[in-house]
């Protein structure tokens, strides 16, 4: 490590080897304690802490927490019994000879001391205060470590990709609005009054054009933008690791992506085993009620539709009945089962039917009495429960029932402490449908076209080989060559083989209800490019903020972003966004009116 004008050593570079030497350190006063007229100061810099002893009261008097100081002194062994085994510098201390105050500090709105953080994180103020004083929040060791982890992830991913001959290419962010399923941020173009740029939702079309341009292997850690309504844990600008390959199949992309993931996980100190498991989209929905299943634990959903097909219980006379076992959950007090009802209702369900297998063959719970004798008899075996387990049921339309049961299994695991932050269950979800219905009320994406079908991924996704000829005749069943990578119940990446032929792209746009004219207007340039020798290509994009959150064990993506926005897209620190003066507005050209002829 280098030295600078202000120091000879970083704090943690002061070791037993420096005993007897004079050193100069610089940093913040993390904590000050006084014992019998002697001041003990923990000096903090980006590497950690070192203890400074100050015998001279004059020198010590002005020093306060978070003052920035430069201290020169002699290194000595700590007196016996004063070692601090928690610190790498815990066996030495610096006896201060000279102290320069480089900057003072007002009393902080909240404490950032390393020592306090180690004792408890609970003293943190609300997130709005943390965001307003983000520069102070960033001094906390956990934030320092989150942000530094991101840098390590970047380096690891780039090294893996460079090693596979990928070329990093920057794509523009003042682009033409393209249809990718969310709302664009728009930028008025002063030099072309009445016209607007859009900020990219992703470099999707541009990376496809790079493939047409012959680069074959591209990547970029790219800033992307979506102007969405408030959603917890989303940001208006976010980062993705964006990758595209020519002359590549789904298998080629998956093999490449696994190398990247293994490298990134390794950089964070974790091993993953390759190849990563795969599950079909349909299996994920059936077994886990989610297209991003959390596989840190099992406890699959058991379909009971067939079992209850002749049931006298009206609630179970439904197109779909499924169950999830709560291992050892039979002896929850009634109050707790009532709590589950509330939990289900908050998710929009009517309630959550359950039975308890209390042992001795006894079946308890409000549903029990509604079942036929035969149903009661075989139930425990049919749902794979044991004595002492409870079982939750959902009945109704297949998709919403599975989704509820999927949430139930995660909530059970959460209560059982099975969701460990340092355990990573990665899986590929494959065999996605090409389209989905625009009627789905749970879906808050914007349909890209005007028909009853919208793209499951995006309009540039290739139908799977079996469906090339027929996808537009049977959009409800057509499958695509696309894939998501899921970790611990979060989608951390997704991609597809892309359409590289104008004829197929035209047919997909027709299914989506996008007219030729609209297609020409919105991405005629892509269709034009496909006329001049477009290679087959495929790619993937990783949600880099989410991946960083998972790897750092943070509670929110805001904890892995240096300067995030709050939920409403605001920055409490700078006050962005802000009103602008009329002359600045006039310059943007948004009020331009074309002259009439």
How many CB atoms within 10 Å of residue 382? 16
Q: Does the protein bind a copy of itself through residue 461 (CB under 8 A)? A: no
86 exposure class (CB count in 10 Å sphere: 0-12, 13-18, 19+)? exposed
- The one-character DSSP state at 499 is P
- Measured CA to CA, the distance from residue 348 to residue 216 in angstroms comes to 47
- Measured CA to CA, the distance from residue 30 to residue 108 in angstroms comes to 12
Q: Does the protein bind a copy of itself through residue 227 (CB under 8 A)? A: yes
Which residue reads 């035209």 in tokens?
506
Choose the stretch contacting a copy of itself; rule: CB under 8 A; options: 133-141, 301-309, 385-393, 470-478. 133-141
Choose the stretch contacting a copy of itself; rule: CB under 8 A; options: 119-127, 170-178, 323-331, 332-340. 170-178
| Binds a copy of itself (CB under 8 A): choice among 11, 23, 197, 543 | 197
Task: Choose between 55 and 525: whose C-beta lies nearer to a copy of itself.
Answer: 525
| Binds a copy of itself (CB under 8 A): choice among 74, 83, 127, 237 | 237
Q: Does the protein bind a copy of itself through residue 535 (CB under 8 A)? A: yes
Is 545 annotated in a binding site? The answer is yes
Is 428 annotated in a binding site? The answer is no
541 with 240: CB under 8 angstroms?
A: yes
355 with 315: CB under 8 angstroms?
A: no
Is 491 annotated in a binding site? The answer is yes
Q: Does the protein bind a copy of itself through residue 232 (CB under 8 A)? A: no
Smallest distance from a copy of itself to CB 436, Å: 24
Sites for a copy of itself among residues 252-271 (CB under 8 A): 252, 256
Strand partners, 94: 52, 75
- Tokens coding 578: 């802000």
How many CB atoms within 10 Å of residue 116? 16
Smallest distance from a copy of itself to CB 334, Å: 43
- Measured CA to CA, the distance from residue 82 to residue 99 in angstroms comes to 23
509 with 459: CB under 8 angstroms?
A: yes
Strand partners, 540: 243, 495
Smallest distance from a copy of itself to CB 97, Å: 19
Smallest distance from a copy of itself to CB 136, Å: 6
| Binds a copy of itself (CB under 8 A): choice among 17, 19, 38, 167 | 167
Q: Does the protein bind a copy of itself through residue 547 (CB under 8 A)? A: no
Task: Choose between 188 and 553: whose C-beta lies nearer to a copy of itself.
Answer: 188
Task: Choose between 287 and 537: whose C-beta lies nearer to a copy of itself.
Answer: 537
Residues 33-72: x/- map of binding to a copy of itself (CB under 8 A)? -----------xxx-------------------xxx-x--
Question: Would you list the DSSP string of 192-232?
Answer: STT-EEE--S-SHHHHHHHHHTT--EEEEEEEEE--PPP-T
| Binds a copy of itself (CB under 8 A): choice among 157, 212, 295, 478 | 212
Going by the annotation, the residues of the binding site for ATP are 226-228, 235, 491, 543-546
């Amino acid at each position: 490590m280098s030295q600078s004008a202000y120091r000879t050593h970083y704090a943690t570079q002061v070791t037993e080897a420096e005993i007897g030497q004079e050193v100069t350190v610089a940093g913040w006063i993390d904590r000050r304690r006084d014992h019998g007229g002697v001041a003990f100061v923990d000096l903090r810099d980006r590497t950690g802490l070192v203890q400074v002893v100050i015998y001279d009261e004059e020198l010590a008097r002005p020093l306060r927490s978070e003052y920035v100081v430069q201290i020169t002194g002699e290194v000595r062994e700590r007196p016996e019994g004063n070692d601090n085994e928690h610190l790498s510098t815990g066996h030495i201390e610096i006896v201060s000879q000279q102290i320069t105050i480089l900057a003072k500090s007002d009393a902080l709105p909240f404490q950032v001391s390393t020592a306090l953080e180690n004792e408890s994180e609970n003293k943190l103020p609300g997130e709005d205060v943390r965001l307003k004083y983000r520069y102070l929040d960033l001094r906390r060791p956990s934030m320092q470590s989150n942000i530094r982890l991101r840098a390590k992830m970047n380096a690891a991913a780039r090294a893996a990709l460079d090693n596979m001959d990928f070329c990093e290419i920057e794509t523009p962010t003042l682009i033409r609005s393209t249809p990718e399923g969310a709302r664009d941020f728009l930028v008025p173009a002063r030099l072309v009054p009445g016209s607007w740029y859009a900020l990219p939702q992703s470099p999707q079309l541009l990376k496809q054009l790079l493939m047409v341009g012959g680069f074959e292997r591209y990547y970029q850690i790219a800033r992307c933008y979506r102007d969405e309504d408030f959603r917890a844990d989303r940001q208006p600008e976010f980062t993705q690791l964006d990758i595209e390959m020519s002359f590549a199949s789904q298998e080629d992309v998956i093999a490449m992506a696994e190398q990247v993931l293994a490298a990134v996980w390794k950089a964070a100190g974790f091993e993953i085993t390759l190849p990563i498991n795969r599950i079909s989209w349909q299996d994920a929905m059936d077994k886990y009620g989610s297209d991003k299943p959390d596989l840190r634990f099992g406890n699959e959903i058991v379909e009971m539709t067939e079992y209850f097909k002749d049931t006298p219980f009206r609630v179970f006379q439904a197109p779909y009945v499924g169950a999830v076992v709560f291992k050892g959950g039979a002896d929850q007090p009634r109050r707790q089962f009532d709590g589950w009802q509330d939990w289900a209702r908050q998710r929009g369900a009517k309630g959550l039917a359950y039975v308890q297998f209390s042992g001795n063959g006894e079946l308890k719970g409000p549903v029990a009495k509604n079942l036929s004798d035969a149903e009661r008899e075989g139930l425990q075996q049919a749902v794979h429960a044991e004595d002492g387990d409870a079982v939750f049921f959902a009945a109704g339309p297949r998709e919403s029932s599975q989704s509820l049961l999927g949430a139930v299994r995660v909530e059970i695991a959460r209560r059982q402490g099975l969701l460990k932050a340092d355990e990573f269950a990665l899986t590929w979800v494959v065999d996605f449908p090409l389209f989905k219905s625009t009627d789905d009320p749970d879906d808050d994406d914007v349909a890209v076209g005007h028909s009853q079908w919208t793209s499951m991924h995006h309009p540039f996704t290739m139908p799977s080989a079996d469906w090339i000829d027929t996808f537009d005749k049977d959009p409800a069943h057509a499958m695509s060559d696309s894939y998501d990578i899921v970790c611990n119940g979060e989608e951390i990446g997704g991609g597809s083989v892309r359409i590289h032929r104008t004829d197929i792209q035209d047919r997909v746009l027709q299914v989506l209800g996008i007219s030729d004219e609209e297609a020409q207007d919105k991405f005629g340039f892509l269709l034009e490019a496909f006329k001049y020798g477009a290679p087959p290509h495929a790619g993937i994009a990783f949600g880099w903020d989410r991946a960083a959150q998972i790897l750092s064990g943070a509670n929110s993506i805001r904890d892995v972003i240096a300067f995030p926005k709050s939920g409403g897209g605001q920055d409490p620190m700078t006050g962005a966004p802000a009103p602008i003066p009329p002359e600045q507005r006039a310059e943007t050209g948004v009020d331009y009116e074309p002259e009439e002829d």
